[in-house]
Structure 1
Amino acid sequence: MLLLALIPVFMGSGLAIQTAINSRLGSVSGSSFLASMVSFVVGAIFLNVLLILTGTSPLVNMTTITSNPWWIWLGGVLGVIGLTTNILLFPKLGSVQTAVLPIFGQIVMGQIIDQFGLFKSPISKFTIIKLVGLVLVAGGMLLATGAFMPKDKIF
């Protein structure tokens, strides 16, 4: 179980690296939007290679398209918004804030999705323990971003 829990930690490390790399690409290419597009094109090529290696068709069945809710196709748009926003914010906020603040947003939205079973997700009701966890995460986020310190007092 501990090994399984380490996978998202490594994934998060990769996201921090991705943000720094894409921010640099944005500065050398002159456009955060171009950097985001290049990142998604390279990612799409990589996914196509994985599909080929696993013998999975890269095409979506028309029945899948017509028989499912419209919102299942928004993941790519939200990914572009998230990635591009990270590229835009990284030079202004730095790595820690650019990493921590979206994670806080993910946790809050995750609680809302769990509470109401949004997007046909399993329902997991909000509890006092989850509230305590959310408050602790919020405090950690504020500490990690230096929100409690005046800017001239930060090391």
Structure 2
Amino acid sequence: MSKWIFLGVAACSGAAMALQGTLNTALGKITGIWESTLIVHVIGAITAFLIIVALGIGFNSINKLSQAPWYVYLGGVLNVVIIYAVVRSIGQIGVGNATTAIIVAQIATALLIDGLGAFGMKKYEFHYIDLLGIALLAIGARILLLD
């Protein structure tokens, strides 16, 4: 597939993240932040289960769980941290401000992971100009969010 298709998929993910944070914050105002975090995870688990069943993927690979390095399971813990932090920050500083901070930190972290080839990811060459890109992104975000 063309890399443009994957960029489009990634862009859809970004839009879904902003919408998800907004919806989770609205739910958190009603049920409480930790309760909404739990509800969102239960709904997500049920959704993933139904997709696996509907697509006929099956659970044949579940027996390979012991082959995975311990740190890959931290994704579940990080998911709880992410949802809590998004709900907490959006409620205090707004969707635009929170999402901007998320994106700047996300890109900086992603460049570090790419440059190190961390966690089994393909290593990409780091260029110092990437730091300029992050700085310009942060400056642009600040200009966008001037109060």
TM-score (norm. length: structure 2)? 0.89
Partner of 1:108: 108
- 1:27 maps onto 2:29 in alignment: yes
The aligned runs of 1:1-150 (5 Å cut-off) are: 1-29=3-31, 31-58=32-59, 61-62=62-63, 64-146=64-146
The number of aligned residues is: 145
Q: Quick one: distance in 2 between partners of 1:72 and 1:128?
A: 29
Q: RMSD value over aligned CA atoms? A: 1.7
Query: Post-superposition shift, 1:14?
Result: 1.3
Letter in 1 for 2:134: L
Is the contact between residue 51 and residue 57 of structure 1 (CA under 8 Å) also seen in structure 2?
Answer: yes
Q: Secondary structure at the match of 1:61?
A: helix
Larger Rg: 1
Q: Quick one: distance in 2 between partners of 1:57 and 1:47?
A: 12
Structure 1 unaligned regions, length at least 5:
147-153
Decide which structure has greater helix share. Answer: 2
Q: Quick one: distance in 1 between partners of 2:67 and 2:20?
A: 35
Is the contact between residue 48 and residue 58 of structure 1 (CA under 8 Å) also seen in structure 2?
Answer: no
Q: Quick one: distance in 2 between partners of 1:28 and 1:68?
A: 38
TM-score (norm. length: structure 1)? 0.84
Q: Percent identity?
A: 23
Letter in 1 for 2:49: N
Letter in 2 for 1:10: C
Provide, for residues 72-109 of structure 1, a one-character-per-residue CA deviation record: whole Å limited to 9, x for no partner.
11111111100111111111110101111111111111
Query: Post-superposition shift, 1:3?
Result: 4.4
Q: Quick one: distance in 1 between partners of 2:52 and 2:4?
A: 29
Query: Post-superposition shift, 1:42?
Result: 0.8
Query: Post-superposition shift, 1:60?
Result: 5.4
Structure 1 residue runs of 4 or more that deviate by more than 6 Å after TM superposition:
none
Query: Post-superposition shift, 1:59?
Result: 7.0
Is the contact between residue 96 and residue 145 of structure 1 (CA under 8 Å) also seen in structure 2?
Answer: yes
Q: Secondary structure at the match of 1:127?
A: coil
